[in-house]
Amino acid sequence: MNDSAMTVITTAMWLMLPVLETVGVTAAPWATDRYEMFGVTVPPAAFSDIRLAGLRRNYSLTVGGFGGILALVDFGVWLGFGPTVAFWTAVIALVLIMAFGFVWWQRCRREMISVKTERGWKATGDRRVAVIDDSLPKPLPLWWDLVYVAIIAATVIVGYAGYDSMPQRVPMHMNMAGVVDGWADKSPWLIWLAPGFELAIVTVMVLGHIAILYSGRLIDPHRPPRSVWRHAAIMRVWSVYTLLVGIAVMLGVGLTLQLGMLGMVPLGLMGTTGMFVAMLAFAGCIVVILFYGRNGSHADDVEVGETGTEDETMP
């Protein structure tokens, strides 16, 4: 595959990101538990209320339409002005979709609060309920992140093993048109560029893993054991997701960067694999949210005892 083909593929992936983000933002109201709508606590009966059902549909249609228009604009820019302009248009679209979704969410939240006041709905019970059960699903322990160390070590080994094949002028940057516009002279220090990038990724992923391990529990006071199990299930899923995304980024981008500087693969392959990994990560995030819901609210409904789970297994 030549650099031009990889540029087209990479740009096409960038064009898909606004679409994926739109799907995720649009689905947000449908991924909450039955006691919450637009961040406002409500009774379960609220979800059958015609006015509130319309409010959720209005949010999804409005945000979805806005994101769809931006995606079409980005596609038109690609056709009319080329991949470089389309790249920056996609970046701007990603920011605008998130910002518009936030603004519209706050608008719906204010209306939700107004409806709650009109209907006289009041929260009952305390959502902070302690339930202890050693049989609960658990997030991956932090030592799983040692796999990152192995990947960094492998990247360094590959760099030194292939140093002799490194060209005298190493391509360091390629514009969106697929033309190399940045170079560096051959040097052993270049071998450490990819591991340095991987180390930055590791820092982010490990911090994310720690945040998952120490996240607080939002518990349904009406069914504490079930809500605890749901939270435990979604935390385990997110810990696995975080680890897999970290590995994919390090292999798909970090190791590919090393091979590109050694002249073993085209430099443009890094952009292609990077965008492919980004799309997979984005799509995976949306799938987790839609399948499990916020705080695990869509996890399998099973009857549980007062102190723990019964016959529950991870999907």
Among the listed ranges 29-33, 292-296, 299-303, 309-313, which one has the minimum average pLDDT value? 309-313
Residue 306's pLDDT band (boundaries 50, 70, 90)? very low
Quote the pLDDT of residue 7: 59
Strand partners, 73: none
Q: Does position 264 have pLDDT exceeding 80, yes or no?
A: yes
> Is 274 within 8 Å of 190 (Cβ atoms)?
no
Query: What would the mean pLDDT of 39-48 be, rounded to a whole number?
Result: 76
69-78, 110-119, 171-180, 302-311, range with greatest mean pLDDT: 69-78
Quote the pLDDT of residue 133: 54
Phi/psi at 41 (nearest 5 deg)?
A: -70, 135
277, two tokens:
């990994």
Residue in 15, 19, 2, 16 with CA at minimum distance from that of residue 83: 15
Query: What would the mean pLDDT of 215-224 be, rounded to a whole number?
Result: 57
Question: Which residue would you say has higher pLDDT here, 144 or 124?
Answer: 144
Burial of 240 (0-12, 13-18, 19+ CB in 10 A): middle
Q: Does position 36 have pLDDT exceeding 80, yes or no?
A: no
Burial of 45 (0-12, 13-18, 19+ CB in 10 A): exposed
pTM of the model: 0.60
Question: Which residue would you say has higher pLDDT here, 35 or 125?
Answer: 35
Quote the pLDDT of residue 165: 84
